[in-house]
Structure 1
């Protein structure tokens, strides 16, 4: 999937969002009909039954199947990290990309145990974006190109994609995106991220305030993304859009990945219907964001790592829901009496 070269690159993005397809109603109905015949009381598997329906509706497969799941981690660097908003230095960006490649990160273990593929996309971790307190993170052409890059991440027949990210300072950037999209005060959207102390939290609040003040009330979600966002957020937003167009269900991870989802939601309130939200992050504002988006996360484990870690755990649940629906016998198959 590629974007045409136009005078206004964001127009291509907007047109794609407008052309998003709806659910496959035929596949959804087939799953519901089969579910009513499975050897269990109706509704007894609760949300697992809903997940099977969701997977069928947005993949077009009935019964639903997951054969090539993937965690896609987008790694980026942020100039705002130099302003003391994180407990870790920017050098960690490159070091963690190397750790992913060596199989030593948490996400490597989660992918292994759940039999999920992993791809890491290095979005120039050696070249941080300008600090959003002083300059725009990207111009329109670069932001659109980064979104297009994220769209290409689905190549290779992926049928379930889990969003992941890594970038020192990116909870500050995500907080700025939320503040610009949803208003309130900067303090409503910030948290301790990688574990900043009180002074670091104060610097984080100041950075978000300065970044959003530069916007002068800008409300266009793509303009907000390019001015106070980051490359990983842009790439993930592009992936969400492409996944909808290609009928690939998406699992959104935590606080930063939800910033990408929020951009798409503001563009099209139904634009996240093909997305499942894995967990409620320990970043206190994440629950508030999910309420804004009208989404209920699968679980709350107090996680705040990123890397797609929560999404990988949720993918295991999705795979289980799929297998239970597809593999369970019907009453007729098993010779079990149905409801009297």
Structure 2
């Protein structure tokens, strides 16, 4: 009953409309040639941040903004599962899945350890590592619910989410431009170039932009390789949640804690199974994927509306350096792997 009341509260309606506008504009701008490598989700986040100029509107919509950044995020990730075609991933072969597993595991561990050695706090370190290793903003937002904090730390955690998203978005864009520019020097086949792009870049939009520069064969290879990494979002979120809780829990109540099972990730996998095996038209699948990005865009805009800019700019330098270092290592690794095994 309370949820239905919340939907009709003025604060929720304000928040819904503001975030919807940001998401729609983000989607439109994200489709433009020079903005496509940034991606609709990051543009929505930036638009949400710009909304902070008008503080009275943010204050009126505060409750709704919190609800959207939390619940709509989970709904968007579930719907994103329809983008994963499991048959296509199976056809890609064991090599592609194995490379994805090595990349996700290795980059998360590498980035996390570098960030911690540079003095970055544990939450920001694991969020940055997840976004770098798996699939950018969606990975940051998929892993974040597994990191439980006290209520007085929730605002700080939101700032860390936004910072991690910004880091992977900026670095992903930079490396997209780098990979396209060095393409003539690599002497790769279209398939090899696509595998390199999908295995090394952060966002799906980055992989598409880079893979597309190598032609249709390269684009297909980039998408399949990238989606192989996306498929690992659910198990990675579960493992990270269990690890984080285990590392944080007190010895005296270790037996009382519940495992942080990400139920919305089960929805993500169920959506991929339905999208793969349940007969439905390409138009319906396309609509569901577009709806996923619209809902995720609203969640990102809601995050942008709550970011603390002072904390945002003061705590990110070392996290950027760590993600940059691991991104360089990942690119070199994928060049070698692509040329050797594909």
Higher relative contact order (CA 8 A, sep 6+): 2
- Shared fold per TM-score greater than 0.5: no
The bucket for the TM-score relative to the shorter chain is: under 0.3
TM-score (norm 2): 0.24
Q: Which structure dedicates a bigger proportion of its chain to strand?
A: 1
